[in-house]
Structure formats: structure tokens, C-alpha cells
Amino acid sequence: MFNRKFFVIASLFLCVVGFWLISSATVAECADKYALRIAHVVSTSDPMHEGALWLKKRVEELTNGGLQITVYPDGQLGGTDDQLEQARVGANVASIADAARLAEIVRSIGVLDMPYMTNSYEEARKVVMSDFFKEWTKQLEEHGYKVLAFNWYQGARHVATRNIPVKIPADLKGVKIRTTGSRVWQATVRAMGASPVSLEWAEVYPGLQQGVIDGCEAQYPAIYGARLYEVVKYISETGHFHLLSPLVVGINWFNSLPQDYQNILMEVAAEAGDYASQLTLKRIDDYKSEMVNSGVTILEVDTTHFREATAPLYEELGYTEERKIINDFLNQ
């Protein structure tokens, strides 16, 4: 009798323990599956970081904590290329990337980062929200990527130099300017008259400090956030393109989410992009004022010379058709 009683109690105990282990494993599995790490290379003072934090808060509210988000600034998960590769192979990583990098996969997307393709944030946003541009980004899914939103505005990109005032392309002759390794940006910097040097963003400050590079091309929030005003004397407002960035995840990870989570993430990513963009627009004048107070000279530039110098790139890089599509769309 005692043995039978013991057996029953022991069996019940094992059942409870087994159920608890299975439940715990299931919870842990779900927690891993429904977690996202948003990565970028700019500082915590940048509007992109604040947009990512806004997205985190809103998604966690709408999913009742079912999709947990952590934000990693300052290249903590590697450079943008590293982040994109992690996403492609299935990691739960989202990257605030750029059109020029994605153009290495779907060429048409790169037209957004061609020199002087758009003249303002409003024009650039109108392009990325169009049906034809969304069709281009959809092609990325065949290569392992899912664009959640493409409306994260980081600002117009300008040329910042250690000690060389730049007003015309000839001023950039022999000047080493940091840019990314993408074909579009390398070709643009070269056409503007400089020698392009590919460096990760985290390497720009020491590169300028040590004279490895003479300058860089970047937007005001990034220049300010990286404290480059401590190592450059001039910023020339070339405004060679408006950096409207995508938030990108891996398609396999995205497809692993429940449908309602997918919908929430897509919707909130676009809302967060607009939120971050408005912060960018509001703060640019403040960034400029603070850098001028720190000793930086900001030069107004007649962009005509740079437009003429870079215009042949559309034919050279095969973007004449995409350029016509966008110009026709904007002129409707």
C-alpha cells in the first residue's frame, strides 16, 4: 500500500516537473523567437536612436510585451554591413542601413542615393512611399531581407574637412574623403573631385585625428553626434544627397513572427521613421549653431559645379531609366 501510494505521489511529482520544464522551454523559446535587436552606427544623441527607442516602446505596448526590442547604438553589433549580414542569415537583428548598400543587391534602389536625385526631404519621402519604389524594395526578399520602412531621414550629406575649405570640385583634388564602400557613394565622391576612402563610421574620428583621411561626407546629426567638430575646421554644404534610410530585418526572422506582430512592426516602423525624421529636421539648426560655436566654419556652396561634375554618373552607373521614373513621378 505504501509502495503504491509512493508510486502515485512520485508519478504526480514527475508529471508536474515535466510540465513545468516543457512550459519553461516553450516560454524561453518564444522569448528568443519574439525578440528583436535594432542596431545602428550613430550615437545615442542622434534622432535615429530616439526613433528606435520610440519604436521599441510602441511595439512592446501593442504586443503586450510579446515582441521585446533592444536598441544597440554606436556600432555595438558591428558596422552596417555586419548588421545586414547578421539579419540575412537569420539573426533577430534590424539595421538602420542606406540605399547605397542595398543597391549592391537590387541595383535600382541605389538611385535614391545618387547625387542630387532629390532636392529635399519631402521629395525623397514621396519617392520611397511610391508603389514603384516599394516594388524595388520587395525584390530584396529574394535575397534574405525585409524592409520594414524606408522613411528614416538622417539629413542632407555634406563634406567636412580637417583644414581644406571646399567650394568647388577642384578644391577636392587629391583630398581623401571617407565614405562607405558602396559603388554609388564611392563613384559620387570621386566625381566630386576627391579620393574616396572606405572606413567604418567608428573609425572616422581617429582617422581624421591621425590624418588617415582629410575629411568625410556625412549628415549634420552624425557629424555632431560623433563630435567630429573637434577634428574638422570646415563643413561645406554640398548637399549631394538626402539620406533617407531603411530599417531592414531578415526575411526568415520576419516570417517567423505571427501575422499580427508582422503588421504591427511594419506599421510602427513607418511611424517611428516619421518621428525620427521630424526630430532631424527640427534639430539641424541647433547642431550647426553648436558646431560653429566650437570653431567650425560652415561654407555655403553653389552646388551647380557639383551637380555638373556628378551628372554623368547616371549614365555611367546605369541609372538613367530610374532617374526618369522618379523625375516624371515628382513632376506629376
pLDDT per position as a tens digit, 208-223: 999 999 999 999 999 9
Which residue has 574637412 as its cell numbers? 161
Residues 116 and 100 in one domain: yes
pLDDT of residue 2: 37
Q: What percent of the chain has pLDDT over 70?
A: 90
**319-332: per-residue pLDDT in tens?**
999 999 999 999 98
Say yes or no to pLDDT of 291 above 70: yes
Alpha-helical runs (H) found in 129-233: 131-138, 183-191, 204-210, 220-225
Q: What percent of the chain has pLDDT over 90?
A: 89
C-alpha closest to that of 215 among 177, 179, 180 = 177
Residue 120 — pLDDT band, cuts 50, 70, 90?
very high
C-alpha cell at 321: 531609366
Say yes or no to pLDDT of 27 above 90: no
Domain count of the fold of the chain: 2
Say yes or no to pLDDT of 21 above 70: no
What mean pLDDT is predicted for residues 135-155?
98
Q: What are the Cα distances from residue 214, in Å, to 90, 208, 217, 286?
A: 38, 6, 11, 25
Residues 234 and 142 in one domain: yes
How buried is residue 170: exposed, middle or buried, by Cβ count under 10 Å (0-12/13-18/19+)?
Answer: exposed
What's the domain range around 9? 1-32
pLDDT of residue 332: 87
Residues 20 and 51 in one domain: no
pLDDT of residue 7: 38
pLDDT of residue 18: 41
Residues 109 and 123 in one domain: yes
Residues 15 and 64 in one domain: no
Torsion of CA 180, 213, 296, 241, to 10 degrees: -20
Residues 161 and 267 in one domain: yes
**192-211: per-residue pLDDT in tens?**
999 999 999 999 999 999 99
Residues 213 and 165 in one domain: yes
Q: What are the Cα distances from residue 282, in Å, to 154, 155, 176, 224, 247?
A: 12, 11, 31, 14, 21
Say yes or no to pLDDT of 28 above 60: no
What mean pLDDT is predicted for residues 60-77?
97
Q: How much is the pTM?
A: 0.88
**295-327: per-residue pLDDT in tens?**
999 999 999 999 999 999 999 999 999 999 999
DSSP for 30-94, written as a single string: HHHHTEEEEE-SS-TTSHHHHHHHHHHHHHHHHTTTSSEEEEE-TTTT--HHHHHHHHHTT-SEE
What mean pLDDT is predicted for residues 27-37?
62
Residues 25 and 39 in one domain: no
Output the furthest CA–CA distance in the chain (Å, rounded). Answer: 100
Residues 168, 309 contacting (CB under 8 angstroms): no
Residues 110 and 183 in one domain: yes
Residues 152 and 19 in one domain: no
Element (H, E) at 254: helix 251-255
Say yes or no to pLDDT of 4 above 80: no
Q: Which of 29-38, 223-232, 314-323 has the lowest mean pLDDT?
A: 29-38
Residue 33 — pLDDT band, cuts 50, 70, 90?
low
Residues 217, 56 contacting (CB under 8 angstroms): no
Residues 171 and 245 in one domain: yes
pLDDT of residue 203: 97
Q: What is the CATH number of the domain that holds 249?
A: 3.40.190.170
Mean pLDDT of the chain: 92
How buried is residue 25: exposed, middle or buried, by Cβ count under 10 Å (0-12/13-18/19+)?
Answer: exposed
Residues 17 and 117 in one domain: no
